[in-house]
A and B are shown apart, each in its own frame.
Chain A
Amino acid sequence: MAERVFITGMGMITAIGDNVAENLERLRQQRSGLGFTSYIDTIYKQVLPVAEVKHNNDALFALAGITPREGYTRTTLLGLAAMREALRQAGIADIQSAPTGFINASTVGGMCDTEKVYFDIINPEKNGTFLQYIDTLDCADCTQRIADIVGFSEHIATISTACSSSANALMFGARMIKQGFLPRMVCGGTEALTRFTLNGFNSLKNIDKQFCRPFDQQRTGLNLGEGAAYLVLESESFARANNSRILAEFTGYCNANEAFHPTSPSPDGDGAYEAMKSALAMSGRTLGEVDYINVHGTATLNNDVSEGKALERLFGSGVPRFSSTKPFTGHTLAAAGAIEAIYAVLAIQQGIIFPNLNFKEKMEELNITPVTELMEGVSVNNVISNSFGFGGNNASLVISKYEG
């Protein structure tokens, strides 16, 4: 019997807060982080809303706990800020105190900073400190800089499966624990807003000029966001021997591919259905034991139909309470899975269900509607968290209350 995997630490930074407590506060206040960008150089500055972390890079250096220096991208700094909190919360003063792996996720690496100097980089007549950003373009750069500052020396990896990247990072870490490679893993993802990604999604006509409206009949697309989140995962035996404070149990997960279309989900949500069904089966929980689903809910036309259909197919007339928290954080791509996994833990710990902001009108394709008001004092024992991405990559996680 493979070991159980526990969540023993969490750290995050998003448009609604620099740490877990601030995120929780803003979720409770039902105040969105959406607005307009201060830091991206784009013609869409006042046109396309984004959920940006409200700090310039100098301030992020302080949050990351390092002095300003060249070569550290916004992606790395967001990641470091979240990493510091996760380790602090897990009571890890020295990462070397136990063999610990680091599984990171990123969709475009340090593009946020590289894109600003790219045309200088390819111009032989230009020279300067910008050359120190050349190697930050790939996704491993942020992982290794975070690893080196914190002192990780065991297994490291970076995953990139578009919007499901950090959900897959959590899964990979949990599997390494279960197979006995390492007793402790820190897993999650980091994502900074870029002109590249903003134009990418805009060229796909997937961005709403208003604040996004998941599961609403009138929705027209997503809003991008940025942030980072990491969770500390520990094997049961290690957590007990180490006397770790257990926040929740990571009971199930599934990664399934849809093999339907490069960017669109299937209309009936085959991949979403399979991912949720298999993750739940692994957790040993029944359909009726699911108290809340933090849906992927990007508010694109296709995602919400597909995901909604999958919910109806899996749960029939008993679809649990569900909401998308994307109107708070924007779609943070590689970081989304880990950010929302932390929200799942918060829902369990606090007995709350977060509202799906901006919802007004039920979708005609569906019979279900999301939770629209903050619910407190609810018993939340099992949460499904969904992350679906380009390339047909679907991931579902099941996070459960720790019950000894």
Chain B
Amino acid sequence: MAAISPQTTFQGDIFSAPLVHTDKNLLACVEPDYKPFIPANSLRRMTRVLKIGLTTALQCINGSGVETIGPIVTGTGKGSLQDTEKFIREIEQYKETALNPTPFIQSTYNSVNGLIALQVKGTAYNNTFVHRGFSFENALLDSMMLLAEGAPNTLTGAFEEITAEHFYIKSRIGFWKDAPTDNRALYETLTPGSIAGEGATFFLLTGTPAPNSKAALTGFKMLYKPAEAKLAAALAEMAAGADLVLTGRNGDSRYEHYYQQLDTLLPGIPQLPFKHLCGEHDTAGAFGMWLGAQILHAQQVPAQWFPMLKDIPATAGKILLYNHFYGEQHAIMVLERV
């Protein structure tokens, strides 16, 4: 697996990487040097989310020990915003004439998938889900079905970017907090809105444990606009035996009550929130899964990333991950040590 995120997750030791923080209400990715991954002539044309998506996918493959990549399945809520914005602007600016097609092509939601397939000669199944907080999650479900159908492996991931323009647009409908909020203090004051984020996360999944396996996904559920009782029942059932809960808490007072259910349903099980690390975005759940797998694999929690918590568990054997996107798409996962 691999992740490019607002933290230094792509290279180096995450257990010693300092917490990146800002009070701009927007956590932007720490971008790596792309040159070792993408030929220079391709790199020039590519916009940011294409670069982070493709590079994360390639890094994931490199570290997996798998040589032949099977199906490629991804999720993205917004695709390449930069290209979408650029093409809208150029249509207006050049009065619909002499347009450069590149931003149009790259704005297509499956363009990252196409690039990955091109670069790794991946001719198997290829799919892209574009459903807000169910984008990565549907890609994961699709991958699990593919493995059950006999695929040797799947390359499964998510990518999202936030642009200045889109940050402004979403601020007009209350997505972000009004007051500048340092991500270290995200959980201190409950007010409407969260802080924005972005990132790319990829996993190489197999149906049976492999020497390189980091963790096992043993439970998974998506709930669309569930009644509180339905959600509570699912959380309680899937939490059986869990010794750590990863939550998508994001400081948004409007939807905090969903996360507060965990406090009453699962008293005594330590919780780690992860949105101060990656920011809120459609595919933040993928980052949560990456963090959970890191903890299970290393049998260690990157404690320096949680300065706001008094008691940080040393490790975990079974993790319940619960995340929702603005109260609509709820996802619950169970991750276990291999």
Q: Enumerate chain A interface residues (CB-CB to B < 8 A).
A: 42-44, 106-107, 109, 115, 118-119, 121-122, 124, 131, 134-135, 138-140, 143-144, 147-148, 152-162, 168, 172, 175-176, 179, 195-196, 199-200, 202-204, 255-263, 270-271, 274, 389-393
20 contacts between A and B (CB under 8 A): A43-B96, A124-B168, A140-B130, A157-B134, A160-B130, A161-B109, A161-B126, A161-B127, A162-B108, A196-B104, A199-B99, A203-B101, A255-B126, A257-B124, A259-B122, A262-B114, A270-B123, A391-B117, A391-B126, A393-B126
Which one of A121, A143, A159 lies within 8 Å of B169 (CB-CB)? A121
Task: Compute how far the CA of A134 lies from the CA of B78 in the bound complex, rounded to whole angstroms.
Answer: 13
Task: State whether A390 touches B111 (Cβ < 8 A).
Answer: yes
B90-129 Cβ-contact flags toward A at 8 Å (1 or 0): 0110011101110011011111011101101111111111
Is B172 on the interface with A (CB-CB < 8 A)? yes
Known: A140-B132, A159-B127. A257 touches B117 (CB 8 A): yes
Task: State whether B95 touches A43 (Cβ < 8 A).
Answer: yes
Q: Enumerate chain B interface residues (CB-CB to A < 8 A).
A: 72, 77-79, 87-88, 91-92, 95-97, 99-101, 104-105, 107-111, 113-115, 117-118, 120-132, 134-135, 138, 142, 145, 148-149, 165, 168-170, 172-173, 222, 224-225, 328
Of chain A, the residue at the smallest CB distance from B115 is A262
CB distance from A396 to the nearest CB of B (A): 13
CB distance from B338 to the nearest CB of A (A): 24
Which one of B95, B107, B125 lies within 8 Å of A257 (CB-CB)? B125
CB distance from B207 to the nearest CB of A (A): 13
Known: A131-B172, A153-B225. A259 touches B104 (CB 8 A): no
Known: A156-B134, A157-B131. A393 touches B145 (CB 8 A): no
CB distance from B269 to the nearest CB of A (A): 28
Task: State whether A119 touches B92 (Cβ < 8 A).
Answer: yes
Which one of A118, A200, A204, A391 lies within 8 Å of B113 (CB-CB)? A391
CB distance from A99 to the nearest CB of B (A): 12
Task: State whether A392 touches B138 (Cβ < 8 A).
Answer: no
Task: Compute how far the CA of A115 lies from the CA of B104 in the bound complex, rounded to whole angstroms.
Answer: 14
Which one of B113, B138, B170 lies within 8 Å of A134 (CB-CB)? B170
CB distance from A140 to the nearest CB of B (A): 4
CB distance from B86 to the nearest CB of A (A): 11
Majority secondary structure of chain A interface residues (helix, strand, loop or mixed): mixed
Of chain B, the residue at the smallest CB distance from A103 is B138
Residues of A within 8 A of B115 (CB): 262, 391
Residues of A within 8 A of B135 (CB): 140
Task: State whether A392 touches B126 (Cβ < 8 A).
Answer: yes
Task: State whether B127 touches A107 (Cβ < 8 A).
Answer: no
Residues of B within 8 A of A391 (CB): 108, 110-111, 113-115, 117, 126
Task: Compute how far the CA of A134 lies from the CA of B124 in the bound complex, rounded to whole angstroms.
Answer: 36
Residues of B within 8 A of A161 (CB): 109-110, 113, 126-128
Known: A107-B109, A391-B113. A259 touches B121 (CB 8 A): yes
Residues of B within 8 A of A107 (CB): 108-109
Task: State whether A122 touches B92 (Cβ < 8 A).
Answer: no
Task: Compute how far the CA of A176 lies from the CA of B138 in the bound complex, rounded to whole angstroms.
Answer: 11
Which one of A44, A135, A143, A203 lies within 8 Å of B100 (CB-CB)? A203
Task: State whether B149 touches A199 (Cβ < 8 A).
Answer: no
CB distance from B78 to the nearest CB of A (A): 6
Task: State whether A153 touches B224 (Cβ < 8 A).
Answer: yes
Known: A121-B172, A200-B87, A257-B72. A143 touches B114 (CB 8 A): no
Task: State whether A392 touches B91 (Cβ < 8 A).
Answer: no
Known: A134-B170, A155-B222, A262-B114. A42 touches B145 (CB 8 A): no
Which one of A147, A176, A258 lies within 8 Å of B224 (CB-CB)? A147
Task: State whether A271 touches B110 (Cβ < 8 A).
Answer: no
Residues of A within 8 A of B149 (CB): 175
Which one of A134, A147, A157 lies within 8 Å of B173 (CB-CB)? A134
Residues of A within 8 A of B132 (CB): 138, 140
Residues of B within 8 A of A155 (CB): 222, 224
